[in-house]
Amino acid sequence: MKLSTTKQLFPILLAAFGFLLMQGCKPKGAQSAVSGDAASKVYVAPGKYDEFYNFVSGGFSGQMSVYGIPSGRLLRVIPVFSVDPEKGYGYSEESKPMLNTSNGFVPWDDLHHIALSVTNSEHDGRWVFGNGNNTPRIARIDLKTFRTAEIIEIPNSAGNHSSPFITENSEYVVAGTRFSVPIGDKQDVPINTYKENFKGTVSFIGVDKTSGKMNIAFQILTPGINFDLARAGKGKSAGWFFFSCYNSEKANTLLEVNASQKDKDFIMCVNWKKAEEYAKAGKGVKKAVKYAHNTYDDKTHSATSTMMNEVLVLDPKDCPDMIYFMPCPKSPHGCDTDPSGEFIVGSGKLAATIPVFSFTKIQAAIAAKDYDGSFDGIPVLKYASVLHGEVQKPGLGPLHTEFDDKGNAYTSFFVSSEVVKWNVQSLKVIDRVPTYYSVGHLSVPGGPTKKPHGKYMIAYNKITKDRYLPTGPELAQSAQLYDISGEKMKLLLDFPTIGEPHYAEAIPASLIMKNSQKIYKIEENKNPYAALGDKYARVERKGNEIHVYMTSIRSHFTPDNIEGVKLGETVYFHVTNLEQDWDVPHGFAVKGANNAELLIMPGETQTLKWVPEKVGVFPMYCTDFCSALHQEMQGYIRVSPAGANVPLTFSTGNPAPASTEKKDTIKNK
Amino acid sequence: MKKIFNISFLAVILIIAGCNNDKKTTGESTTTDAITPSGGQEAVKDDESAKDVVKVAVGSKDHTTLVAALKQAELVTSLSNAGPFTVFAPTNAAFDKLPAGTVDGLMKDDKKADLQNILQYHVAVAGYKTENMQDGQVIGMANGDNITLSVKDGKVMVNGTATVVASVPASNGIIHIIDAVLLPPAKQ
């Protein structure tokens, strides 16, 4: 009996365990979709460095963040278009001009896209550019200091979305306007005169080869449509730029419906070499505009804002063979060129296919005038003539495509929440993986260059429901890291991001880390308010202003006792950090200031403006834990009533106990 | 039943093993191994910053005994820290003035605590510049004992025995070079 029971039970148990086994190993949800060796692939041991820097747009945070890949560790948040009280960016007198625009001081923007500088279509690790969407601007960040070095405003533009993509040798970054707007003198027009009065522009912003300094070289006037994304050609197509555009219906209301009427919108092909020639040949018209150009000087540690008043505009009517439209299905979003420069991938948000265009065929069609009519006088190339082929039924809602080093493309699908890997030549789908959830942009290290590093792919997702511990109605948006070294993509890691990540780029660490600056040399400090040593520390009255020329070094301020300020006066603390030691900033804050702190790098001078509103003694202190005696790094400033006769005095260091009011100071000269 | 239990136990093991199989397939490191900081801040590669008190001492040919002693006493990491430090740095000649065999004795492993005590008696966690030093000023040192300064005609002496012959600023403090070794007061 016993034996037979066992015999009967055994198959049942076996079946049960078989079921458990299947349940146990089958990917049920996101957690179990991760392969067993994922942790070891993203583990970067303490003291070891990540292999790649990942520069990630912060979206509506207005900033750019830097992560290590494969660990997903946040290394830095770089303030770009938004004020950052943590670093005093936009609060210190020196940094305020960086955020100046033709609309005055704008403390926020929406940073969507990243463009790392390139030489011969490969990352060179010098600068990273970011776009300001709302008040059209482009910023350049210096990768020696990881600081915003320059911001240029774009006139005749609104919603600078199609930006800041970059040409093969960083000759230009571009700025295509999302919104078409009234251009020229007639600004006050009825909105429903869109079709006659609204125009688009794409701007080419020159980048100086050595300094990186930007200037708006020329703008191309376009029909009144919406520009979305863009990519430069590479290699054979390097002289061309491709811009996706939608709303060829020219709707000015309810675009959700009205801009989705037509079967096809366009990718606009710009022969920028030709445009450059036209600009040089004087074919453009200088138009009166107003835009700010802000630069940060590493020697004066100060930003300067210059208001510019002219821009060169090229009208395609006067410049034949400069731009062409290429039909692309259903409101194209992504517009990406493959590493060879031969293929241009359009991603129609509402399309059921991914069209892949051939640069060779585009050139042949142009040469043969193989047109399908024109759009606002601009030739439209015949779809069938320029098409390499279509990826059929790849997924729902294609958005963006990146490339690896093996001829494969990776396209994100927002609606079906997945990434699809396909071969650029054969157009065959190779693999697909889910994302969690609703993916936007993708980044492969070196993905937009001639030489991608086909090891990782990072997906930036819009929705994070249930992925992390809940934190109320809003959750941190996420990035997901995939291993793409094999045939199949493998999910390795989730990591949270700041703001909303849109486009991102990743670059080998070796291209940047060797150039990273450690200090600002004190002998090169040319800030006019610097005190280059304790003996230069002083307090001066200039009319209604009190200027405190203060020094900070472990672990004191000089001066640290100030008296004689009167209510109604404005105090400027010019604080020079005398340290010459890597990673030893000093902070500065004063009680009650309607302002942020200063965070002053070694060798740098920064200024905090303070308008006292009360009589009293106000403490000030170092906010960045600098040393064992950080907590001792403090001082006082006394504010007296407007009519008081307290003389202006300042001092530091008084070992003897205070006896009377005035005799106890060591005067600084 | 026992047998069933055993079989099912085996099955569980198989399940675990089955699910874990691919765990064993990696071993390859994905990270940049180029620089792997080991030890404390003294190991940080940095040719741009000003030198800290340790690097200043290392760069002085008159302080080889002090540097060797700091290493033996394992104080290099601490003194490469953010500080701020005031270091009274006896010269080689100052060490030579000690009774024969004193330094050699202190450099023995079993005397490490004594050496640490003496060296910490030369370090204050604060930035004391000579211009801020007062006659009769008492300063608490890192080992817990005090020194007393005398300032006469601009000459600073420590405990009445060692003269400050020069002062050298460093990134994380200041070094006052002295011509005699300071000996901590005998314990009560």
How far apart are alpha carbons A569 and A563 in whole angstroms?
A: 13
What secondary structure does DSSP assign to A405-471, as a single string?
A: TTSEEEEEETTTTEEEEEETTT--EEEEEE-SS-EEEEE-TTTTSSS--TTEEEEEES--TTTSS-B
Chain B residues in contact with A556 (beta carbon < 8 A):
127
Q: How near does any CA of chain B get to the CA of A647, in Å? A: 25
Q: What is the pLDDT of residues A309-341, one digit of tens each?
A: 999 999 999 999 999 999 999 899 999 999 999
How far apart are alpha carbons A559 and A620 in whole angstroms?
A: 11
Q: What is the pLDDT of residues A191-231, one digit of tens each?
A: 999 999 999 999 999 999 999 999 999 999 999 999 999 99
Which residue in the set A24, A42, A554 is minimally distant from B15, CB to CB?
Answer: A24
Q: How near does any CA of chain A get to the CA of B81, in Å? A: 8
Pairing of strands B173-178, B85-90: parallel
Q: What is the pLDDT of residues A39-92, one digit of tens each?
A: 999 999 999 999 999 999 999 999 999 999 999 999 999 999 999 999 999 999
Contact A518 B26 (CB under 8 A): no
pTM: 0.89
What separation in angstroms does the CA of B36 have from each of A44, A141, A507, B47? 11, 28, 20, 17
- Nearest of B122, B116, B106, B108 to residue B181 by alpha carbon: B122
Q: What average pLDDT does this structure show over B95-119?
A: 97
Chain B residues in contact with A17 (beta carbon < 8 A):
8, 11-12, 15
* Strand order across the A353-358 sheet: A332-337, A343-348, A353-358, A387-392
Beta strands in A484-579 (DSSP E): 490-496, 504-508, 538-542, 545-553, 556-558, 561-566, 570-577
Rounded (10°) angle between helices A2-25 and B2-20: 20
Do A165 and A113 touch, CB atoms closer than 8 A?
yes
- Nearest of A422, A409, A495, A511 to residue A460 by alpha carbon: A495
Coil vs helix vs strand at A347: strand
Interface check A21 vs B, CB under 8 A:
yes
Chain A residues in contact with B23 (beta carbon < 8 A):
36-37
Q: What is the pLDDT of residues A86-128, one digit of tens each?
A: 999 999 999 999 999 999 999 999 999 999 999 999 999 999 9
Contact B48 A582 (CB under 8 A): yes
Query: Closest-CA residue in chain B for A10?
Result: B4
How far apart are alpha carbons A203 and A334 in whole angstroms?
A: 19
Contact A48 B11 (CB under 8 A): no
Size of interface A-B (CB pairs under 8 A): 113
pLDDT value at position B187? 74
Which residue in the set B22, B125, B134 is minimally distant from A628, CB to CB?
Answer: B125
How far apart are alpha carbons B149 and B133 in whole angstroms?
A: 8
If one compares A507 and B27, the residue with the highest pLDDT of the two is A507
Interface check A585 vs B, CB under 8 A:
no
Contact B30 A629 (CB under 8 A): no
Q: What is the pLDDT of residues A604-661, one digit of tens each?
A: 999 999 999 999 999 999 999 999 999 999 999 999 999 999 999 999 986 544 333 4
Please name the amino acid found at residue A2.
K
Contact A44 B31 (CB under 8 A): yes
> Which DSSP category does B41 fall into?
G
How far apart are alpha carbons A666 and A556 in whole angstroms?
A: 15
Contact A37 B23 (CB under 8 A): yes
Do A291 and A307 touch, CB atoms closer than 8 A?
yes
Residue A667 predicted with pLDDT over 50: no
Chain A residues in contact with B149 (beta carbon < 8 A):
none
Percent of chain A with pLDDT over 70: 93
Which residue in the set A9, A37, A555 is minimally distant from B22, CB to CB?
Answer: A37
pLDDT value at position A229? 98
Q: What's the mean per-residue pLDDT of chain B?
A: 85
pLDDT value at position B22? 40
Provide the phi-psi class of B120: left if phi over 0, else alpha when psi is between -120 and 50, else beta.
alpha
If one compares B28 and A423, the residue with the highest pLDDT of the two is A423
Chain A residues in contact with B12 (beta carbon < 8 A):
17
Q: Cβ contacts of residue A486 below 8 Å, gap of 6+?
A: none
Contact B18 A25 (CB under 8 A): yes
Chain A residues in contact with B33 (beta carbon < 8 A):
48
Helices (H), A142-283: 194-197, 255-258, 272-280
Q: Cβ contacts of residue A48 below 8 Å, gap of 6+?
A: B31, B32, B33, B36
Contact A70 B11 (CB under 8 A): no
Phi/psi of residue A304, nearest 5 degrees: -125, 135
Question: Tokens 């800290």 — which residue?
Answer: B52
Question: From the CB of residue B179, how many other CB atoms can be counted at a distance below 10 Å?
Answer: 15
Which residue in the set A49, A555, A580 is minimally distant from B31, CB to CB?
Answer: A49
Coil vs helix vs strand at A274: helix
Contact B15 A20 (CB under 8 A): yes
pLDDT value at position A4? 46
Interface check B126 vs A, CB under 8 A:
yes
Interface of B with A in 146-185 (CB under 8 A): 171-173
How far apart are alpha carbons A467 and A159 in whole angstroms?
A: 31
